């Protein structure tokens, strides 16, 4: 790639102001997300980039697919600032549509593919997209009146090898909107979190600095890392893995269909996977596979896991099962409102530090707000990756000085961050955040329910599971099967309680009148 077309990346940090607040930023950085693909395609060319089943596309072929997809979206009215909803599971077409939206100067709206039809309708009503790109449109609850493009129609665009006539990449401002990503809040349904080009690129640059893979530091013949992606692309972690792999000349391996432990093992063996970015639940299921020892997993070198501090037991199991990962069982910590990862730790960092998730990343400032006698308080961060706020919500994400509350509790010691719990009222089920309030609001609409409390309960495989304590109205009756069916019609399957406690007594409250969830959890008497 010639210097005229290269993005400029660097490690040097400077202090400046972002949206009026003090902030640390990388001095040398790209300013437009779409340019990342153009640079990578020009640099890595015919090298293999993405694999899904029997389909394999080089960087050039994938870039051509994006150009062709951009033409399809442009013909459907997509242009600068157009909001396009991606409502589908991981696929080459999903990736091509994401980059096509960026090329056209639009906004990619990453919808949760596990939502119920009711949740999909609520999100579309709020976002008012120009177009919805979806798999299984009928099952998604999409109406004939919706502007919908079946993602299957893009398969030809992704598979055709001929060179299309590319549309010009739209110029955008660094602080303009690039992505809307939904986050489970604590007060109800998921909120659309706004991410700028600046924030998304800063997040990726953090990860490239952390892993020593800044594009401008890589030789032309650098060996790319083979990365297996099992987390959803509609999650920030999925976007991070896909873009960092693209920029460093690596190969991205996608699962076909739903997650299965054996499918993961087969891909690791066949594709010689070196990095598997995952969550503890998925890793545990692979470790539990009865025929694990039959597969050649010797190429695995790193299994970064996000979502929470990794238990010593799980870390030991990973090191025993995957000998090549002995020194690379790392940890990533972040939150959607902060734009992604804000701290990371290597195996060495985490050794003999229970609860540690690593050190703050280079451009991240971190503090503990209102610490108690043990130094534990809410973790707050100030970072250029910060989101712009939430769609249709004037409440700022950051305070007047630019600090963002993560909702997590922890402490800092010798430059390392430790987690001790969460102040957010959520359940983290297999790496997926479930807002307790959202489930409670759904169940409370059932005519037999007087009041309800949703709490996290520990689960050996999922980490946590959704548990509901339901007080029934006097004279009314409902059983678990009825309430489960009711919830399934209104919530995503992952949000439906798997444990129930039905009772006639009112739920206990504390001195301020709030339901005492800690008491319910401690005295659980359900199924």
User: In CATH, what number is assigned to the domain containing residue 129?
Assistant: 3.40.50.980
Backbone angles phi, psi at 189, to 5 degrees: -70, 165
Q: What's the confidence (pLDDT) of residue 71?
A: 93
Residue 505 lies in a domain: yes
Q: Virtual CA dihedral for 293, 299, 301, 303, nearest 10 degrees?
A: -50
Residue 154 lies in a domain: yes
Query: How far apart, in whole angstroms, are the C-alpha atoms of residue 493 and residue 115?
Result: 8
> What is the count of structural domains for the chain?
2
Residue 277 lies in a domain: no
Q: Residue 451 in contact with residue 515, Cβ under 8 Å?
A: yes
Residue 310 lies in a domain: no
* The pLDDT of residue 409 is above 80: yes
| pLDDT tier for residue 510 given thresholds of 50, 70 and 90 | low
Q: What's the confidence (pLDDT) of residue 102?
A: 97
> Each residue of 302-315: pLDDT tens digit?
887 765 556 667 88
Residue 145 lies in a domain: yes
Q: At which of 159, 179, 198 does a domain end?
A: 159
Query: How far apart, in whole angstroms, are the C-alpha atoms of residue 353 and residue 470?
Result: 39
Q: At which of 100, 130, 159 does a domain end?
A: 159
* The pLDDT of residue 165 is above 90: no
Residue 493 lies in a domain: yes
Residue 498 lies in a domain: yes
Q: Is the pTM of this model over 0.85?
A: no
> Each residue of 265-295: pLDDT tens digit?
999 999 999 999 888 778 888 998 999 999 9
* The pLDDT of residue 30 is above 90: yes
Of residues 438, 383, 431, the one with CA closest to residue 26: 383
Q: Residue 25 in contact with residue 202, Cβ under 8 Å?
A: yes
Q: At which of 140, 159, 178 does a domain end?
A: 159
* The pLDDT of residue 257 is above 90: no
> Each residue of 57-109: pLDDT tens digit?
999 999 999 999 999 999 999 999 999 999 999 999 999 999 999 999 999 99
What is the extent of the structural domain holding 490?
426-522
CA angle, 255 as apex, 251 and 259 as ends, to 5°? Answer: 140
CATH no. for residue 455?
A: 3.30.300.30
Residue 217 lies in a domain: no
């Amino acid at each position: 790639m010639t210097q005229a077309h290269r993005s400029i990346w660097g490690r040097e940090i400077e202090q400046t102001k972002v949206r009026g607040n003090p902030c640390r930023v990388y001095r040398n950085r790209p300013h437009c997300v779409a340019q990342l693909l153009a640079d990578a395609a020009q640099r890595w060319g015919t090298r293999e980039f993405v694999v899904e089943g029997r389909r394999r596309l080089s960087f050039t072929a994938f870039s051509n697919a994006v150009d062709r997809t951009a033409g399809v979206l442009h013909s459907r009215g997509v242009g600068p600032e157009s909001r396009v909803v991606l409502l589908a599971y991981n696929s080459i077409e999903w990736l091509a549509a994401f980059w096509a939206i960026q090329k056209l100067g639009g906004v990619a709206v990453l919808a949760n593919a596990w939502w119920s039809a009711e949740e999909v309708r609520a999100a579309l009503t709020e976002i008012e997209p120009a177009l919805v790109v979806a798999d299984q449109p009928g099952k998604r609850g999409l109406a004939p009146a919706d502007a919908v493009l079946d993602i299957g129609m893009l398969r030809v665009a992704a598979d055709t090898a001929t060179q299309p006539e590319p549309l010009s990449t739209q110029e955008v401002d660094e602080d303009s909107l690039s992505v809307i990503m939904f986050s489970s809040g604590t007060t109800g349904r998921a909120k659309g979190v706004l991410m700028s080009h600046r924030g998304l690129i800063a997040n990726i640059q953090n990860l490239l600095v952390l892993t020593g893979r800044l594009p401008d530091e890589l030789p032309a013949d650098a060996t790319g890392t083979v990365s297996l992606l099992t987390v959803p692309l509609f999650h920030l972690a999925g976007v991070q893995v896909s873009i960092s792999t693209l920029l460093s000349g690596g190969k991205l391996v996608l699962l076909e269909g739903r997650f299965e432990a054996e499918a993961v093992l087969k891909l690791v063996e066949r594709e010689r996977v070196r990095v598997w970015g995952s969550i503890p639940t998925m890793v545990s299921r692979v470790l539990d596979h009865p025929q694990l020892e039959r597969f050649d997993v010797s190429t695995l070198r790193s299994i970064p896991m996000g979502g929470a501090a990794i238990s010593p037991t799980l870390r030991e199991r990973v090191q025993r099962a995957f000998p090549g990962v002995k020194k690379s069982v790392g940890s990533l910590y972040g939150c959607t409102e902060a734009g992604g990862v804000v701290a990371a730790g290597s195996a060495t960092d985490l050794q003999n530090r229970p609860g540690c998730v690593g050190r703050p990343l280079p451009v991240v400032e971190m503090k503990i707000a209102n610490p108690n006698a043990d130094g534990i308080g809410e973790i707050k961060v100030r970072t250029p990756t910060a989101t712009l706020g939430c769609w249709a919500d004037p409440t700022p994400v950051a305070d007047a000085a630019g600090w963002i509350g993560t909702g997590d509790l922890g402490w800092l010691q010798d430059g390392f961050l430790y987690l001790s719990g969460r102040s957010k009222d959520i359940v983290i089920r297999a790496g997926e955040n479930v807002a307790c309030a959202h489930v409670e609001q759904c169940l409370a609409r059932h005519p037999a329910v007087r009041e309800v409390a949703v709490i996290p309960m520990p689960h050996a495989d999922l980490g946590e599971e959704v548990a509901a304590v339901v007080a029934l109205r006097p004279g009314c009756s409902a059983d678990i099967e009825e309430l489960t069916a009711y919830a399934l019609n209104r919530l995503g399957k992952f949000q439906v309680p798997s444990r129930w406690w039905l009772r006639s007594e009112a739920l206990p409250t504390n001195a301020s009148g709030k339901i005492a969830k800690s008491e319910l959890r401690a005295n659980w008497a359900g199924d």
